[in-house]
């Protein structure tokens, strides 16, 4: 707390003024008032005396003698207030003199325009609504320290208008996404955040304990297996927008807690999913940003469908001097990977090695929207194999701006095959792979009741917002990213 503010707080209390009022009704936000009267002449404003009530945070105070101008900001914009000592009661003027930048105030009065033509409220009644006890960052320098911005997002939102607009854009992206699903006959569902088995992805989970049931639970790494249970139950098109948790590293592209949308379509395949995705994302871009051509860093990204499709091997051949044929031979692929500095684990097969080569050499080069398709079975424990090549799955990942944005596939609906793949994952976990999938016997039982031909997909909303808002760090688009604790 800042001492000079605490002194003013105590002065207000001594006057019998409540510095933290219970309620203050505002009929219209500031932008509505400005839109309605911005073109009204000053003569008409003074003649008609259009009275308004406004409230907001004081962002600037300019005093001259017994008068002053205050700029206040609400969620929609800024308007100027004119204060004159002779036009307020003695108590109201004293309250004004106890006002600092950052305080919330409420004002009633009539509109007029200054000599420069700025629409202004001539204060006839003045009230302090909330007394702030800390100074805001200095106006011209603002809040620039990145770590402080993330830790004190509340201050970041107050002083940096572009940050506030970013999170409004994020909200609009999610709204448009939800709208698109509903228009395509999906139903929105909620599945457990705490799960007895960490499933649906290969990742290291957060672990907790349920005292009443005396059982270990895992914060979910993905909702996949629960959503597919719903498809088995007859909910043929489902989606969920929610958090996933993975106990892994933090980087500009990774946060341990992140937002995803995951959805499943019965009687669709992974090509249907790719078409659905490119149409959905281009529609969202058009509706939220007004264009399907967006800037990300030094690149212009064109979201206009259709998007490129390459197999894993085709992409490596296209972006490197490695030949597809060499990726079909274990020893040759292993040698290529080792020459790239990739440390080969003893339990890796050819498919895992090829994926590592792709991630090392190609991923960051996929700037324009690109679907990488047909992943090895070894790294796709939940995806359906191709009928004519059982070691390759009908799976894709979407890359934009050098980042993986989505992962989808034809769902494996053979319970016998699924159990065998789970067993291989269990063996990998026992060999030390902390990210390997657990055995889920209840999910196998569900599959035994029959899952119709289904395609599913998960899409990272945080990374999508990064791309749509031209931000190079995931922390910029998460309101409260994870940080090391600090002493306050």
Give per-residue pLDDT as tens, 197-246.
988 887 889 999 999 999 999 999 999 999 999 999 999 999 999 999 99
Q: Which residues make Cβ contacts (< 8 Å) with residue 187, sequence separation at least 6?
A: 235, 237, 238, 239
How far is Cα 210 from Cα 201, in angstroms, rounded to an integer? 23
Annotated ligand binding at 397? The verdict is yes
> Which contiguous run of DSSP H or E holds residue 338?
helix 330-339
What was the pLDDT predicted at 126?
A: 98
Give the integer Cα–Cα distance in Å for 474 and 288. 20
Domain boundaries of the chain, sorted by first residue:
3-136, 158-307+368-476
Q: Residue 428's pLDDT is what?
A: 83
pLDDT tens, residue by residue, 91-110: 999 999 999 999 999 999 99
Residue 488 predicted with pLDDT over 80 = no
Question: In the structure, what pLDDT confidence band is assigned to residue 65 with cuts at 50, 70 and 90?
Answer: very high
pLDDT of res. 115: 95
pLDDT of residue 427: 86
Confidence class for position 140, pLDDT limits 50, 70, 90: very low
Instruction: Residues 3-136: name the CATH superfamily.
Output: Nucleic acid-binding proteins (2.40.50.140)
Q: Where are the alpha helices (DSSP H) in 184-327?
A: 224-232, 270-289, 312-319
158-307+368-476 has the same fold as 3-136? no
Distances (CA, A) of 437 to 221, 225, 250, 440: 11, 12, 22, 9
- Report strand pairing: 308-311 vs 370-373: parallel
Residue 318 near residue 301, CB atoms below 8 Å? no
Q: In whole numbers, what is the pLDDT of the chain averaged over residues?
A: 95
Entry pTM: 0.93
Q: What is the pLDDT of residues 354-390, one digit of tens each?
A: 999 999 999 999 999 999 999 999 999 889 999 999 9
Superfamily of domain covering 158-307+368-476? Bira Bifunctional Protein; Domain 2 (3.30.930.10)
Residues in the chain: 488
Check the annotation: does 359 bind a ligand: no
Using a 10 angstrom Cβ sphere, with 0-12 exposed, 13-18 middle and 19 or more buried, the burial of residue 19 is buried
Name the H helices within 75-160.
Answer: 90-97, 146-151, 153-159
Q: Between 422 and 361, where is the model more confident?
A: 361
User: What pLDDT, on the 0 to 100 scale, is given for residue 141?
Assistant: 57
């Amino acid at each position: 707390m800042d001492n000079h503010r605490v002194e003013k707080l105590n002065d207000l209390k001594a006057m019998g003024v409540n510095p933290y009022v219970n309620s203050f009704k505002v009929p219209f936000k500031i932008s509505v008032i400005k839109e309605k009267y911005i073109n009204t002449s000053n003569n008409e404003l003074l003649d008609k005396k259009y009275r308004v009530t406004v409230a907001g945070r004081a962002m600037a105070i300019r005093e001259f003698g017994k008068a002053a101008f205050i700029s206040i900001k609400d969620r929609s914009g800024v308007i100027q207030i004119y204060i004159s000592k002779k036009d307020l009661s003695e108590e109201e003027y004293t309250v004004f003199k106890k006002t600092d930048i950052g305080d919330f105030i409420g004002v009633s009065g009539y509109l007029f325009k200054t000599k420069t033509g700025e629409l202004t409220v001539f204060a006839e009644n003045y009230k302090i609504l909330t007394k702030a006890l800390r100074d805001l960052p200095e106006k011209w320098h603002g809040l620039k320290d990145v770590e402080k911005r993330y830790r004190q997002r509340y201050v970041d939102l107050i002083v940096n208008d572009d940050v506030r607009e970013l999170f409004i854009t994020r909200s609009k992206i999610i709204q448009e996404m939800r709208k698109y699903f509903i228009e395509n006959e999906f139903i929105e569902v909620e599945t457990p955040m705490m799960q007895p088995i960490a499933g649906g992805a290969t990742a290291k989970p957060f672990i907790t304990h349920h005292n009443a049931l005396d059982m270990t639970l895992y914060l979910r790494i993905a909702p996949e297996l629960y959503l597919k249970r719903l498809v088995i139950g007859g909910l043929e098109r489902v989606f969920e927008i929610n958090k996933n948790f993975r106990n892994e590293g933090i980087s500009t592209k990774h946060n341990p807690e992140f937002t995803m949308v995951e959805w499943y379509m019965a009687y669709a395949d992974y090509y249907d999913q790719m078409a659905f995705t490119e149409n959905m994302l281009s529609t969202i871009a058009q509706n939220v940003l007004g264009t399907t051509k967006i800037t990300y860093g030094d690149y212009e990204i064109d979201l206009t469908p259709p998007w490129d499709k390459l197999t894993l091997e085709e992409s490596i051949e296209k972006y490197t001097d490695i030949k597809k044929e060499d990726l079909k031979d274990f020893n040759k692929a292993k040698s290529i990977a080792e020459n790239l500095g990739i440390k080969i684990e003893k339990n890796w097969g050819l498919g895992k090695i090829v994926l590592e080569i792709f991630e090392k050499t190609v991923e960051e080069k996929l700037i324009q929207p690109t679907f990488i398709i047909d992943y090895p079975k070894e790294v796709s424990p939940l995806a359906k194999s191709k009928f004519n090549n059982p070691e390759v799955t009908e799976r894709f990942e979407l890359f934009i701006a050098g980042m993986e944005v989505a992962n989808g596939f034809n769902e494996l609906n053979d319970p016998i095959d699924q159990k065998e793949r789970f067993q291989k994952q269990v063996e990998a976990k026992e060999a030390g792979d902390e990210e390997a999938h657990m055995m889920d016997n209840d999910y196998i039982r569900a599959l035994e009741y029959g899952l119709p031909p289904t395609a599913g997909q998960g899409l990272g909303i945080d990374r999508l917002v990064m791309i749509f808002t031209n931000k190079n760090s995931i922390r910029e688009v998460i309101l409260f990213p994870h940080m090391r604790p600090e002493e306050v």
